């Protein structure tokens, strides 16, 4: 068991004991939501499906948020930022591969814009002010990063970060970085649809289900009850 797996197992054990005793476990900063304005500029809707890659801590919760977002047809947990031969969970957990736990989002721009996906990202999917960590997880593999391959998309992200920093809606400056997308590598099968398959797992209960509730409350018009699962996307292809 690598250090990342051990940390999550330990957290799950501790949380299970807390929940069993009926104590209230206060959510960490990673689960707090921020009420933020939409981006002042956006990418014009295009024909066909588009993809976008985001990283914001453990991919279980980020994937779950976008699976419950209208207009998203698929959200795949994986790795980005490093090389193909190191895109493995037990290696990425070392924090030395350059990879971040990331999610590749496939969406219909006629139903949800890139700007709305970014607003959700900076509001409920994670805390963009944390550097190389999210909630209980720490290391460069948990960094807040947007991976772009389109200059127009990068321009929108850069402008939005500047807009949010100027609006001072957070306690501190945004730590999110922009990196060129050099490749996305899907994670192991047991990581896919993890939030939906394990809703009672203490790590999910404490760290990730609050993200879904925040999405439902703050972005009610963009929320859907039935998630767009990886297994369903595969079955339809």
How confident is the model over 116-140, as pLDDT tens digits? 999 999 999 999 999 999 999 999 9
Distance CA 61, CA 38 (A): 22
Backbone angles phi, psi at 113, to 5 degrees: -90, 165
Whether 117 is catalytic is no
Instruction: Tell me the pLDDT tens digit for each residue of 13-63.
Output: 444 433 333 333 334 444 679 999 999 999 988 889 999 999 999 999 999
Residues 232, 67: Cα–Cα separation, whole Å: 11
SS3 state of residue 146? strand
pLDDT in tens, 167-212: 999 999 999 999 999 999 999 999 999 999 999 999 999 999 999 9
Inter-residue contact 97 to 82 (CB < 8 Å): yes
Closest CA to 178 of 75, 100, 106: 100
- How far is the CA of 96 from the CAs of 1, 27, 58, 202, 218, in angstroms? 17, 29, 16, 28, 36
Q: For residue 72, which of 237, 232, 227, 235 has the smallest C-alpha distance?
A: 227
Q: pTM of the entire structure?
A: 0.88
Tokens coding 122? 């900076």
Catalytic pick from 36, 58, 62, 156?
58
Q: How far apart, in Å, do the first and last CA atoms of the chain sit?
A: 35
A 10 A CB-CB count for 98 gives: 16
Adjacent-strand bridge partners of 72? 107
Nearest to 117 by CA among 91, 166, 169, 156: 156
- Residue 138, Cβ density class (10 Å: 0-12 exposed, 13-18 middle, ≥19 buried): middle
Coil/strand/helix, residue 67: helix
Separation between Cα atoms, residue 219 and residue 70, nearest integer Å: 10
Q: Which domains, ranges and CATH numbers included, belong to the chain? A: 3-236 (3.30.1060.10)
Q: How far apart are CA 185 and CA 15, in angstroms?
A: 31
């Amino acid at each position: 068991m690598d250090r990342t797996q051990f940390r999550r197992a330990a957290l799950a054990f501790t949380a299970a004991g807390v929940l069993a005793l009926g104590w209230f476990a206060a959510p960490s900063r990673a689960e707090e939501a921020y009420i933020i304005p939409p981006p002042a500029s956006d990418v014009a809707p295009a024909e066909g499906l588009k993809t976008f890659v985001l990283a914001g801590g453990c991919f279980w919760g980020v994937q779950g948020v976008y699976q419950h977002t209208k207009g998203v047809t698929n959200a795949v947990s994986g790795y980005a930022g490093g090389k193909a031969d190191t895109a493995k969970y037990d290696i990425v957990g070392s924090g030395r591969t350059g990879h971040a736990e990331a999610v590749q989002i496939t969406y219909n721009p006629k139903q949800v814009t890139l700007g709305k996906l970014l607003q959700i990202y900076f509001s409920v999917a994670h805390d963009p002010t944390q550097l190389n960590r999210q909630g209980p997880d720490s290391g460069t593999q948990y960094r807040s990063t947007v991976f772009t391959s389109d200059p127009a998309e990068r321009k929108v992200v850069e402008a939005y970060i500047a807009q949010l920093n100027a609006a001072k809606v957070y306690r501190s400056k945004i730590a999110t970085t922009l990196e060129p997308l050099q490749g996305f590598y899907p994670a192991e099968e047991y990581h896919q649809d993890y939030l939906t398959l394990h809703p009672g797992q203490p790590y999910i209960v404490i760290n990730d289900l609050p993200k879904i509730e925040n999405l439902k409350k703050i972005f009610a018009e963009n929320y859907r009850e039935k998630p767009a699962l990886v297994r369903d996307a595969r079955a339809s292809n």
